[in-house]
Amino acid sequence: MPEEKQKDATAGEFDRREFFVKLGLGSLGIAAAGTAVFAYQFMSPNVLYEPSPIVNAGRPEGYALDSVTLDVNSGIYLIRSKEGFFALSAVCTHLGCLTTWKPELGIIACPCHGSKFRREGEKIEGPAPKPLPWLRTWISDEGDLMVDRSTVIRPMEFVRV
Ligand code: FES
């Protein structure tokens, strides 16, 4: 009888030992998986993916003569004047608010601190330190108006169609 009790005690201790071994191995496995994930993130290039600065503004004939069209998504104005097409950044040069075209006044106005600009981007009044920049504009091989938001050009360089 006492021998049987000792057998049970040994079996119970063995089960406990096996349990702790499995628990330890499981913990090591989880730690190894976490280390592998962090190592993968560390080794991966830390790249910030931004949208392309090139905007396809569509067909030139879609713009009426003497029109100012704000593309809110890309933050540009596409303007068709009698001299040709040009694109302006719609981002205020003061603190970066998105400006709006005021057709009743014929000006571009910033809603944040009141800067005003002519249709050609020159500053009229307000705290903006610089005019709205002209952006490189061209006609693609397919005949679409293209604007490069990352390239500022000299004013009065019109695209004629
Ligand atoms: S952000 Fe346009 S005037 Fe201040």
Range 92-98, long-range pairs (CB < 8 A, 24+ positions): 92/128, 92/132, 93/123, 93/128, 93/129, 93/130, 93/131, 93/132, 93/133, 94/126, 94/127, 94/128, 94/129, 98/72
Q: Would you state the pLDDT for residue 8?
A: 62
Residue 109 Cα to ligand 1 middle (Å): 9
| Whether the CB of 92 sits within 6 Å of ligand 1 | yes
Q: Would you state the pLDDT for residue 47?
A: 84
| Whether the CB of 126 sits within 6 Å of ligand 1 | yes
Q: Would you state the pLDDT for residue 12?
A: 66
How much is the pTM? 0.73
Q: Would you state the pLDDT for residue 30?
A: 95
**CA 114 to ligand 1: nearest atom:** 3
Q: Would you state the pLDDT for residue 6?
A: 61
Residue 132 Cα to ligand 1 middle (Å): 11
Contact 102, 90 (CB under 8 A): no
Fold of 54-153: Rieske Iron-sulfur Protein (2.102.10)
Per-10-residue mean pLDDT for the chain, 161 residues long? 58 79 93 94 85 95 97 96 97 98 98 97 98 98 97 96 88
Ordered by start, the domain boundaries in the chain are 1-49, 54-153
Which mutation among 94, 98, 123 tests ligand 1's pocket best, with the greatest number of atoms within 8 A of CB?
Answer: 94
| Whether the CB of 124 sits within 6 Å of ligand 1 | no
Q: Would you state the pLDDT for residue 7?
A: 60
**CA 92 to ligand 1: nearest atom:** 2
